Amino acid sequence: MQSRNAGTYNGIDISSWEGNVNFSGVRSDGIDIVYIKATEGTGYINPYMNSTYNNARNNDLKIGFYHFFRANVDAREQARYFVENIGDKTSDCRLALDIETTEGYDAVTLTDMCVDFLEEVKSLSGKEVVVYTYSNFAQTSLTSRLSSYPLWIAAYGVDTPSSNSIWDRWIGFQYSDTGRVSGVNGNCDLDVFTEEIFLSLDVSSTGDQNSSGEEIIYTVKSGDTLSGIAHLYGTTWQNLAEINHLSDPNFIYPGEKIVINHKSYEDIYIVKPGDTLSGIAQLYGTTWQHLAEINHLSNPNLIYPGQSIDVGFENNNSETYVVKSGDTLSGIAQLYGTTWQHLAEINNLRDPNLIYPGEVINIR
């Protein structure tokens, strides 16, 4: 493990214990990064999260969020709870899993849960992750399956954390839980971080243009997922899989080059907490059936925060529409930004409630 002086950024991590914090004082004390506890299990949200986030952001501090893991609660449900409650807040740093209790589970089972959580967070948020734990816990309660994820280690009263069988280096080192920082009432945790704690975007432009806009080349990093890369660029994993001829979109490897055939941001909607497919459809003057079809959604009632939805504007320039089973004239009108009365008139429809599959409807 590196010693403490390997860290180039000073940080603190904050939960509800610290209450209201004066971040102007924190900033003046040389702190660069603030990690905020967001959630725990699936039943606790830090009541100070929003005010802490806003005040830290207003004082130009870099921000990260962490989730305290409870092994007796489903890992993927915890991931969804974490990502949903962060919402649209901007995170400058990797999203952190805080794992420090076993709840009676063995190391293999607990590690599997951690991996499930981390992969779900990556998939839902499109962001990179980090594992927070302390030295003895890593040695006794986790396995090397976590070695592919970077480490934020807690070890107090030492300049260099002790080695363990999983990690040989850290990107975050919490070296004290009795620190004193201006603006914080009482003790707080003190950290140092390397630059790897920040969310990265390792890309290079080819300079080539095509009909869809700028072509970008993304170099896959360890831990990346296709859905995460898609989220970064406001597109869908289906689009990336298609243009990169990926037979298995779940299999990408570090160093692989992914072409981003940059689709207009206006054609992609990023799902927010509380969204429904019908609500998104209404927002864009289309139907939920159309969105479900072009996004290959087997369950239109199941969408999640951070998911990219192709709203398919390019399909709305057609002069005619072929009726499909379940279509209504009002639904087709909404899809094309017109009215059912207009369609009924130009198509000479005596009964606008009677259209049938295969019928051709003039739009213009």
Which member of 29, 74, 100, 112 is catalytic? Answer: 100
Question: Are 127 and 104 within 8 A, CB to CB?
Answer: no
Domains of the chain in sequence order = 9-197 (3.20.20.80), 216-309 (3.10.350.10), 320-362 (3.10.350.10)
Where do the DSSP E strands lie in 109-232?
129-134, 151-154, 172-179, 188-193, 203-210, 213-219
Residue 56: partners with Cβ closer than 8 Å, 6 or more residues away:
21, 23, 26, 34, 36, 63
Identify the CA nearest to 303 among candidates 336, 326, 277, 321: 277
Report how far residue 302's alpha carbon sits from residue 106's, in angstroms, rounded to the nearest whole number.
Answer: 33
Q: What pLDDT is recorded for position 99?
A: 98
User: 100-108 long-range contacts, Cβ below 8 Å, gap at least 24?
Assistant: 100/132, 100/133, 100/134, 100/137, 100/154, 101/69, 101/70, 101/71, 102/71, 102/141, 103/70, 103/71, 103/72, 104/71, 105/71, 107/140, 107/141, 107/142, 107/143, 108/143
Q: What pLDDT is recorded for position 202?
A: 40
In the 8-state DSSP scheme, what is residue 131? E
Q: Which two tokens stand for residue 290?
A: 């159309």
100 classed as catalytic: yes
Residue 46: partners with Cβ closer than 8 Å, 6 or more residues away:
15, 16, 36, 37, 38, 39, 52
pLDDT at 314 over 50: no
pLDDT digits (tens, 9 = 90+) for 167-177: 989 999 999 99
Judged by average pLDDT, the poorest of 161-165, 199-203, 308-312 is 199-203
pLDDT at 206 over 60: no
Identify the CA nearest to 36 among candidates 19, 53, 22: 53
pLDDT at 203 over 70: no
Report how far residue 314's alpha carbon sits from residue 156's, in angstroms, rounded to the nearest whole number.
Answer: 57
DSSP alpha helix (H) spans, 3-106: 23-28, 49-58, 75-86
Higher pLDDT, 233 or 347: 347
Query: How confident is the model over 325-338, as a mean pLDDT?
Result: 77
106 classed as catalytic: no
Which member of 13, 84, 120, 189 is catalytic? Answer: 13
pLDDT at 213 over 50: no
pLDDT at 347 over 90: no
Q: What pLDDT is recorded for position 266?
A: 47
Q: What pLDDT is recorded for position 234?
A: 64
Q: What pLDDT is recorded for position 261?
A: 64
If you average pLDDT over every residue of the chain, what do you get? 84
pLDDT at 205 over 50: no
Question: Are 147 and 168 within 8 A, CB to CB?
Answer: no
Report how far residue 213's alpha carbon sits from residue 209's, in angstroms, rounded to the nearest whole number.
Answer: 6
Binned at pLDDT 50, 70 and 90, residue 317 comes out as very low
Identify the CA nearest to 193 among candidates 61, 82, 104: 61
Chain centroid to Cα 188, Å, comes to 28
Q: What pLDDT is recorded for position 104?
A: 95
Higher pLDDT, 271 or 78: 78
Binned at pLDDT 50, 70 and 90, residue 306 comes out as low
In the 8-state DSSP scheme, what is residue 272? -
Judged by average pLDDT, the poorest of 154-163, 259-268, 351-360 is 259-268
pLDDT at 31 over 80: yes
By the 10 Å C-beta count (0-12 exposed, 13-18 middle, 19+ buried), 19 is classed as middle
Binned at pLDDT 50, 70 and 90, residue 163 comes out as confident
Query: How confident is the model over 193-200, as a mean pLDDT?
Result: 85
pLDDT at 84 over 90: yes
Measured CA to CA in angstroms, residue 116 lies from 79, 130, 269 at distances of: 9, 13, 26
Question: Are 175 and 158 within 8 A, CB to CB?
Answer: yes
Q: What pLDDT is recorded for position 319?
A: 66
